A and B are shown apart, each in its own frame.
Chain A
Amino acid sequence: MERRIKQDDRNTPVRLAGLAVVLLVLVALSLLLGSTRLSPVQVVRAALARDWEDTGLRIFLYVRLPRTLGGILCGCGLAVAGAVLQVVLNNSLAGPNIIGVNAGAGFASLVVMALFPRSMNLLPAAAFAGALACSLLIYGVARWTGASRMTLILAGVAVTSVVNAASACLRYLFPDILAAYNSFSVGTLNGVTMGKLWAALPYLAAGLAAALLLSGEMNVLLLGEEMARSLGLKVERCRLLLILTAAVLAGASVSFAGLIGFVGLLVPHAARILLGADNRMVVAGSALLGSASVLLCDLLGRVMFAPYELPVGVVLSLVGGVCFVALLFHRRGGKLHD
């Protein structure tokens, strides 16, 4: 016990820095490893010589760079969204899918696939819009029926099941979209382009900034609604802002990476175990740890069965689940944040 308390007090910044270093190493590996192994010297040399026809440089610029950046951004976005939602709903099982991000994005992308099969470039925008619309719908229903944390969760379950049923209808009526939908629903960084990333970047940046700015309020919110209000926090407004933040972060991530699960649910717990309960640290830690875990799993998916590739979503559930159980064992006796 004594040992853990000291760590909470003093080692947190060191641990955060450690996570940053791990992330940097993974970024380097993700840029260089894959079906073709790139040599950094060669890539830099080609870039300096402005030899745009060089195969290594082309792979670096058009495949590895967007893929790595995509991993960083979606991992960070989903993990921070999860961290925020777990605090807002005071529920350790909360993740982006509880406010309908996955259901909304999935449905919107199905609509595009079914009705505008020739304009697949609409997909990211549609996924983002669908995620956001579904979150707002759930928040609206919850507010209308009482606006407590529990009504929000129940409204989430109800709305999500309706939207998912609508998605199932579309899949039955337009069976040829199943192949495209499959890769979207599993979540993959294969096929991420700089264009899709640029579109999502402003939302992710704004969401991350909002989460960091509101992390003090998140700490106060954890004291309970009554206590938070008596300390002068505008609880309703703060909760809406945080849910919006989470919806924007998760929606933007899903827009280019598909329905990657798991990160938003478990990374915030891992961040709390490593860094303590202070949400300023949890948000920053979730951002780093989320990026790192997506990059790691994408890398594993690329190299484990090369030349075949596993989508990052599959590896994440596999590796992440096992790692998390290990983490729980390591902290036996301690309690999950709940």
Chain B
Amino acid sequence: MIECIGLDTGYAGTAVSRQIDLTVRDGELLSLIGPNGCGKTTLLRTMAGLLPPQAGTVRAESRDLCAMTERELARFRAYLPQLRETPDITVGALVGHGRFPYLGFSRQMTAHDREQVDRAMEITGVSAWRHKKLRQLSGGQRQRVYLAMTVAQDTPVLLWDEPATYLDVGSRLAVMELARKLNHSGKTVVMTLHDLSDALTLSDRVCLMDGTGQVVMTAPPEEVFRSGALDRVFAVRAEQVRLASGGLSYVFTPESGT
């Protein structure tokens, strides 16, 4: 469980969001949505312990995040930033880095570490590329490999910052499916998403932020949709559509459109 209590996020001197109260429940899949620049990433980084709160606290399992060591944090949550380097290493080596928080002084992987790496590669479907260089892969494939690394970190909580942005539709849906699969296997998943229909169809709850960085509401997708808050925050008209398969999806049209 992650609790943000009276949390102000931001950087030295400039607050991005004020007075956020948000509780991420164990085992839930929560999406942070909001317009560009509203502070989703800042909130996610603060929840990851990578950015100190400007005020208030973030607690993980009732412990203040600030009181945890880097290593303890790295065993509690895995965080995937949106922008990353592409080092000249193999897929296997990159996923292996996920085990860094568990390595001893000699930095040698144990049999257990290797097992975890294999498992992470299997779940995320990247085993076949193990010996390939990261730079030989497409953007969507690289994304899966980075996700595999966060899985290898073997943490109860996964924090992904825009894991699907810049991906083609197939790769994007593969990432969404992976998020759901990991969530079903017991992981708590928090991610920032730009695609609202993904966020609404996939998540247990969504946390909607407005352009000023305030949390408008945190609720199940259906409830957020019915409240009409999406229309206000994004200046669009949201519609729920029933698919031929029976599932629900959402489409968005311009506010002023017909």
- Known contacts A223-B85, A278-B93; is-contact A232 B73 (Cβ 8 Å): yes
Q: Does B98 contact A (CB under 8 A)?
A: yes
Q: Which residues of B contact A224 (CB under 8 A)?
A: 81, 83-85
- Known contacts A222-B85, A278-B93; is-contact A230 B131 (Cβ 8 Å): no
- Is A277's CB under 8 angstroms from B89's CB? yes
Chain A residues close to B by CB (< 8 Å): 1, 5, 8-9, 90, 216-217, 219-220, 222-224, 226-227, 229-234, 272, 277-278, 335, 337
Give Cα A272–Cα B50 distance, bound, in whole angstroms. 32
- Is B100's CB under 8 angstroms from A229's CB? no
- Is B100's CB under 8 angstroms from A5's CB? no
Chain B residues close to A by CB (< 8 Å): 48, 50, 70-71, 73-75, 78-81, 83-85, 87-90, 93-94, 97-98, 100-101, 103, 107, 131-133, 135-136, 153
Q: Which residues of B contact A277 (CB under 8 A)?
A: 87-89
Give Cα A219–Cα B131 distance, bound, in whole angstroms. 17
- Is A233's CB under 8 angstroms from B100's CB? yes
Give Cα A335–Cα B74 distance, bound, in whole angstroms. 32
17 pairs of residues in contact across A and B, judged by CB atoms under 8 Å: A1-B133, A5-B133, A216-B100, A219-B89, A223-B84, A223-B85, A223-B87, A224-B81, A224-B85, A226-B84, A227-B80, A230-B50, A230-B78, A231-B98, A232-B75, A233-B70, A233-B100
- Is A5's CB under 8 angstroms from B87's CB? no
- Is B85's CB under 8 angstroms from A230's CB? no
Give Cα A229–Cα B101 distance, bound, in whole angstroms. 10
- Is A226's CB under 8 angstroms from B81's CB? yes
- Known contacts A219-B97, A224-B84, A277-B87; is-contact A232 B50 (Cβ 8 Å): no
- Known contacts A223-B97, A231-B74; is-contact A9 B131 (Cβ 8 Å): yes
Find A5's partner among B70, B90, B94, B97 (CB 8 Å cutoff).
Answer: B90
- Is B50's CB under 8 angstroms from A226's CB? yes
- Is A335's CB under 8 angstroms from B88's CB? yes
B74 to chain A, nearest CB (A): 3
B63 to chain A, nearest CB (A): 16
Find A229's partner among B70, B83, B89, B135 (CB 8 Å cutoff).
Answer: B70
Q: Which residues of A contact B94 (CB under 8 A)?
A: 223
- Is B133's CB under 8 angstroms from A232's CB? no
Q: Which residues of A contact B136 (CB under 8 A)?
A: 1
